[in-house]
Chains A and B, each alone.
Chain A
């Protein structure tokens, strides 16, 4: 399990909202802090690494959690700039 400093709930939101919410939330964090983005949009599996790659933030990991209502994705992003 990856430890996150701040958690961001984007459940129920579709692309591109989780990414935009991540961008806004990361601005509030300090360097080195890890943000946990919780989403039920499968696209985040590819989108978050792509976004991190382009913006320079570090993708620390991705977890998939099976729940009764479906799969939930947890993306961990470390603020690097």
Chain B
């Protein structure tokens, strides 16, 4: 058994000089891997004491849709769209290696074996740590996604200016 000690002062020396305190993430993608990256960054930043806002738009909205919730959009075209475009944090496909669901199932299995949290667990942790969730109303309307089909805990339903007002103060702004 060998024990190596590291001087904390040395370890700290090469670390960041500036301390960002506000982080915004735009999640446009509805892919499992991309959503995971977004939530890992969000939870990590929140754990560091930063203020984090995640703005969900287009396919990213699928992450905050309740599984199996049907759209209550009025016209049939959007109703169909809401039906065909499956939502739910644990239903997101991998961006690659999906193979009609088989690849994604395999990946979820491997993650479970390795005690790696998936999108639903990461999202719950994010909400727990006070990460703000904003749902984009424009794309919600476009895709026939109604408020009642989204999960609890969405802070705001807003548009681009709300995002920009947040991003303007952010020192880390990501588009995923």
Contacts and interface: CB of A to CB of B under 8 A. Distances in A.
Most buried by B among A52, A53, A55, A60: A53
Contact of A13 (B12, B44, B115): B115
Interface in B3-23: 3-6, 8, 11-12, 15-16, 19
Contacts of B62: none
Contacts of A62: 5-6, 8, 11
A46 B1 CA distance: 22
Given A17-B117, A62-B11, A51 B47 contact: yes
A49 B12 contact: yes
Contact of A53 (B15, B47, B114, B125): B15
Given A13-B115, A15-B40, A53-B15, A65 B49 contact: no
B48 interface: yes
Nearest to B9: A59
Given A14-B116, A49-B11, A55-B49, A63 B4 contact: yes
Given A14-B114, A50-B16, A63-B3, A19 B8 contact: no
A59 B8 contact: yes
Contacts of A65: 1-3
A50 B15 contact: yes
Contacts of A14: 114-116
30 contacts: A12-B114, A12-B115, A14-B115, A15-B44, A16-B44, A16-B47, A17-B115, A17-B117, A20-B43, A46-B11, A49-B11, A49-B12, A50-B48, A51-B47, A53-B15, A54-B16, A54-B49, A54-B50, A55-B49, A58-B8, A61-B8, A62-B5, A62-B6, A62-B8, A63-B3, A63-B5, A65-B1, A66-B1, A66-B2, A67-B1
10 residue pairs, one from A and one from B, having the closest CB atoms: A49-B11, A16-B44, A59-B8, A54-B48, A62-B6, A64-B4, A12-B115, A23-B47, A19-B47, A53-B15
